[in-house]
């Protein structure tokens, strides 16, 4: 394997500033499994609401498959005006209370997973990260009319604090880079916590702000950072109103939502839960849709 340290450049002054700080690392990548765009929404929101400085930038040109995820370009009248730039980076972010933490965000690597993982784990170890946290959405048979539940998983069982019902048993699915990274962070001695927000499978392709709020609130609880919600509640209210209007136009969809409501309420009362096979089937459908979207690009 080529030297992982050659995959990135960093700001030496900021790096020195983080010495002996033991920061939190929040990693939110635009990945393979992110129903409701939870990771992307939280990452964009943090960078929009908190002061940040570029700490580490990865040479994403080595990691990106441009034929799989092509950059959007703007053509105007008789010339090309701009092209989307893919950026995978760590930012040093300052929370409202003054505590600084590290945010890793951007597209997940398409290639060189072992090398990219070694680079990120090495950076986390040198920063002496005290906790690495991620949040993303998983498509599940839940209704949009109920609070978003979170399935927690961690490198150590005592890091899990949720009292929500366990909605996932043992399943085997294609891995995303965020999950691959979390596995290796734990193996490298970095405490790692994952927050999978349950997103209605019929909303998995569009932003679902209620789920993003649930993920951000749990990040705040686990880290003590008190990151602001900003305009997310207003976006969630508008989002839910639009969803309700759409659902009202289809009797079939209304029946599906009502079925999920009954299932959700039973689960909250220790009733029957979806099986691992049912969860796996939902994930397989979601991943198949992702593959079709990639093929169409």
Top-ranked range on mean pLDDT: pick from 153-157, 188-192, 242-246, 289-293 = 188-192
Confidence of residue 294 (pLDDT cuts 50, 70, 90): low
Q: Is the pLDDT of residue 260 over 90?
A: no
| Cβ pair 149, 156 in contact under 8 A | no
- E-strand ranges in 129-173 read 131-140, 150-154
Domain range holding 213? Answer: 4-296
Phi, psi for 26 (deg, rounded to 5): -105, 120
Which of 55-59, 95-99, 201-205 has the lowest average pLDDT?
A: 201-205
* Helix extents (H) in the chain: 12-17, 38-49, 113-127, 177-187, 209-223, 232-247, 251-268, 276-296
CA 93 to chain centre: 17
CATH value at residue 235:
3.40.50.10900
CA–CA dist 247, 251 (Å, integer) = 8
pLDDT digits over 34-72, tens only?
Answer: 999 999 999 999 999 999 999 999 999 999 999 988 999
Confidence of residue 293 (pLDDT cuts 50, 70, 90): low
Q: Which residue has the tokens 């309700």?
A: 244
pLDDT score, position 292:
61
Between 172 and 68, residue with greater pLDDT = 68
Work out the average pLDDT over 146-166.
83
Q: Is the pLDDT of residue 288 over 70?
A: no
| Cβ pair 35, 204 in contact under 8 A | yes
Q: Which residue has the tokens 């048979």?
A: 141
In the three-class reduction of DSSP (H, G, I as helix; E, B as strand; rest coil), residue 188 is classed as coil
Work out the average pLDDT over 273-294.
56
pLDDT score, position 209:
97
Top-ranked range on mean pLDDT: pick from 58-62, 175-179, 278-282 = 58-62
Domain total of the chain: 1
């Amino acid at each position: 394997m080529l030297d992982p340290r050659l995959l990135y450049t960093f700001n030496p002054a900021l790096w020195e500033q983080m010495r002996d700080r033991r920061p939190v690392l929040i990693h939110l990548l635009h990945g393979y499994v992110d129903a409701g765009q939870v990771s992307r929404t939280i990452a964009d929101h943090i960078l929009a609401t908190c002061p940040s400085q570029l700490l580490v930038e990865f040479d994403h040109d080595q990691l990106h498959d441009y034929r799989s995820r092509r950059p959007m370009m703007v053509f105007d009248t008789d010339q090309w005006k701009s092209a989307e730039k893919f950026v995978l980076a760590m930012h040093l972010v300052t929370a409202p209370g003054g505590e600084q933490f590290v945010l890793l965000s951007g597209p997940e690597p398409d290639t060189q997973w072992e090398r990219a993982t070694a680079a990120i784990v090495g950076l986390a170890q040198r920063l002496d990260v005290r906790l690495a946290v991620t949040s993303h959405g998983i498509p599940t048979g839940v209704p949009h009319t109920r609070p978003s539940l979170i399935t927690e998983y961690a490198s150590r069982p005592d890091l899990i604090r949720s009292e929500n019902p366990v909605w996932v048993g043992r399943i085997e699915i294609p891995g995303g880079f965020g999950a691959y990274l979390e596995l290796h962070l734990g193996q490298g001695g970095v405490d790692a916590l994952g927050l999978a927000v349950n997103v209605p499978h019929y909303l998995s392709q569009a932003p679902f702000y209620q789920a993003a709020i649930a993920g951000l609130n749990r990040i705040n609880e686990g880290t003590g950072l008190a990151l602001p919600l900003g305009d997310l509640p207003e976006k969630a209210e508008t989002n839910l109103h639009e969803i309700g209007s759409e659902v009202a136009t289809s009797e079939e969809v209304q029946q599906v939502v009502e079925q999920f409501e009954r299932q959700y309420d039973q689960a909250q009362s220790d009733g029957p839960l979806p099986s691992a096979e049912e969860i796996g089937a939902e994930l397989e459908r979601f991943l198949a849709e992702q593959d079709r979207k990639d093929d169409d690009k």
